[in-house]
Amino acid sequence: MANNNFKPFATGSGANVLSQVDYEALSALASGFLSGKASSAQVNKALRQGTFVSSCLAQFITNELNIDVLDNGDANGFLSNLISAMNSRSNAVLTTAFPKRTFGTNDFIRIPDVAGGLIIQFGSAIINSPTGTVTFPTPFPNAALALIPVKNSDIAARFITFSNLTNTAASLYGWTEGTTSNLDSFNWVAIGF
């Protein structure tokens, strides 16, 4: 088991520390103790605040990377390990929110991957007719918000419109210069939730 050398100071029940209100009102808070003697409760409070945070950061590194975090004065090593631990945790969160998978030609992604998340669906098709239907790979549980059909490149100035957008499909229409035209090959993106 990995070891964390950074331990919090004066965190026990009944520790001899100033209350938070008294600490924030302490005249030496901004300048430090300039002369005279500080009470043990004042010093303990300052030590506790710093050691509490450093011990938490060190424990985060220990837990995330399963490595020893040593009190050896190596600030660069500590920072490097902290960054590695944060990257490790970020990657874990992203992998959970956006599971890695291989996408098909007609597929979808839900962001985040939980019920109610935004769903982006996409696909391509060939329909040799002026009208047709695109059926989504998965139904939108609540609503389909938008569909963007895009005609693949060809020499004619053709385009696609849609109507009857539902949670499962939409009707498509092919056009060229004011008249109908085959849809032929096209891509599409649909957004909903």
Residue 151's pLDDT is what? 87
- In a domain? residue 59: yes
Residue 176's pLDDT is what? 83
Residue 27's pLDDT is what? 92
Q: Are residues 158 and 137 in the same domain?
A: yes
φ and ψ of 90, to 5 deg: -60, -45
Residue 100's pLDDT is what? 62
**Structural domain range at position 29:** 20-97
Q: Are residues 120 and 181 in the same domain?
A: yes
Residue 167's pLDDT is what? 98
Q: Are residues 115 and 183 in the same domain?
A: yes
Task: Please state, as a whole number, how many other Cβ atoms lie within 10 Å of the Cβ of residue 120.
Answer: 14
Q: What value, to the nearest 5°, has the Cα angle with vertex 61 and ends 60 and 66?
A: 110
Residue 46's pLDDT is what? 95
Q: Are residues 114 and 158 in the same domain?
A: yes
- In a domain? residue 33: yes
Cis peptide before 8 (omega within 30 of 0): no
- In a domain? residue 65: yes
Our count of domains for the chain comes to 2
- In a domain? residue 10: no
Q: Are residues 45 and 66 in the same domain?
A: yes
pLDDT (tens digit per residue) in 7-33: 999 999 999 999 999 999 999 999 999
Q: Are residues 156 and 185 in the same domain?
A: yes
- In a domain? residue 142: yes
Residue 114's pLDDT is what? 78
Task: Please state, as a whole number, how many other Cβ atoms lie within 10 Å of the Cβ of residue 15.
Answer: 13
CATH number at residue 171: 2.60.40.3940
Residue 38's pLDDT is what? 92
- Cα dist from 36 to 28, 33, 39, 48, 100, whole Å: 11, 8, 10, 21, 62
Q: Which residues of the chain have pLDDT under 70?
A: 97-100, 154-156
Q: Are residues 111 and 188 in the same domain?
A: yes
Q: Are residues 49 and 85 in the same domain?
A: yes
For β-strands 118-127 and 107-111, DSSP reports them as antiparallel
- In a domain? residue 13: no
- In a domain? residue 27: yes
Amino acid at 153: S
**Residue 160, class by beta-carbon neighbours within 10 Å (0-12 exposed, 13-18 middle, 19+ buried)?**
buried
